[in-house]
Amino acid sequence: MAKKRKRPQNRPSFVTGAVFALIIVLAGFMLAPQQQSSHSKNPLQAFSKQASPKQNGQSTNQSTQSDLDLLALNWDGSLDGDIVHVNGNQANFTDAELQQSFPAVAGNPLRPQNGFAMSPLDSLGRSGQANFVASKAAMDRVQKRPASIPSSVRPSGWNIGDHFDGQKWVGGYHTNPKTTLGGRKQPLWNKSHIVGYQFFGMDTMKTENMTTGTRVENAFPGQLAAEDDIRNAIKTHPNITIRGQVTPLYRGSERLPRGVHYQAKSVADNGQTLNFNYWIFNVQPGVNINYQTGEAQVQQS
């Protein structure tokens, strides 16, 4: 290793300053946190979101890059790995988005009551993003949930070999294999609410508010974990409101979402009571899923 030469005593002082500044810059670069690429529990440091125009009063501030990042994640195969924390588990609403209230629009089935806004089915018949503001007042109006979801409520991927006629899914057949979960046999597929029934009642029972989700994605713990977070926050602090957003994400033309991006934040205190940002995989241990057709193969145990 070469010896370090002594700095000549008559060296101009401004050179010393320049060298010192360069060292600081290089040190800062080397110590700066690097973007994680590991598909671990908390693999995504942050997403950049660019403001976009609004459609039907809903938030369309959805980053294509962040969607691609989420869709690129690989599930670790475990039940505990079905939920990933995004952006340090902090919702990334803008100030304007956090204040949106989504008032009801007469005659618009996608805006049936104050605080709840769904998206229309896309050109492939798939459900999209829903936005909401949960409150104790809205939850107190919810009636007891019926024993089953109407057969007319049919999300993409629920039937195999069906087709979208431009308004609804028709034809095909439904199959729902039993899988072992929680120590007992349970049906693999659920009609999974995008926004939970407990927040707005029967108005959530629409195809536009459903996806074909595994039992794990829907409730084990899946979206039920996010819904319980919101419910418990409101139960503990009945005067707050919670701004929520749930976005099913699909790869290409696949009928089943690979998962849902679920984020929520308490409004009045800017997230002090509740603030989370989850990516929830649409997966099930021991099951191989064809997301294009909805077919599933249960592995032999």
Which pLDDT value is given to residue 66? 83
Q: How far is residue 161's CA from residue 166's CA, in Å, rounded to a whole number?
A: 16
Which pLDDT value is given to residue 183? 87
Contacts 24+ apart (CB under 8 A), 75-80: 75/39, 75/281, 75/283, 76/39, 76/40, 77/285, 78/285, 79/216, 79/220, 79/285
Measure the N-to-C terminal CA separation of the chain; round to a whole number of Å: 60
How deeply is 157 buried, as exposed, middle or buried, from its count of CB atoms within 10 A (0-12, 13-18, 19+)? Answer: buried
How deeply is 25 buried, as exposed, middle or buried, from its count of CB atoms within 10 A (0-12, 13-18, 19+)? Answer: exposed
CA angle 202, 244, 142 (to 5 degrees): 25
Which pLDDT value is given to residue 16? 40
The residue assigned the tokens 């729902």 is 176
Ramachandran sector of residue 4 (left: φ over 0; alpha: ψ -120 to 50; beta: rest): beta
Give the SS3 label for residue 200: helix
Q: How far is residue 129's CA from residue 117's CA, in Å, rounded to a whole number?
A: 9
Given a contact cutoff of 8 angstroms between Cβ atoms, the answer to whether 263 and 245 are in contact is: yes
Q: How far is residue 290's CA from residue 143's CA, in Å, rounded to a whole number?
A: 36
Given a contact cutoff of 8 angstroms between Cβ atoms, the answer to whether 161 and 186 are in contact is: no
How deeply is 173 buried, as exposed, middle or buried, from its count of CB atoms within 10 A (0-12, 13-18, 19+)? Answer: exposed
Of the candidates 129, 123, 132, the residue with the CA atom closest to the CA atom of residue 61: 129
Q: How far is residue 102's CA from residue 33's CA, in Å, rounded to a whole number?
A: 38
Q: How far is residue 98's CA from residue 128's CA, in Å, rounded to a whole number?
A: 19
Q: How many CB atoms lie within 10 A of CB 24?
A: 9
Of the candidates 39, 102, 100, the residue with the CA atom closest to the CA atom of residue 259: 39
Of the candidates 298, 227, 245, 299, the residue with the CA atom closest to the CA atom of residue 66: 245
| pLDDT tens-digit readout, 156-183 | 999 999 999 999 999 999 999 999 988 8
The low-confidence residues of the chain, meaning pLDDT below 50, are 1-64
**Which residues are paired to 241 by β-bridges?**
135
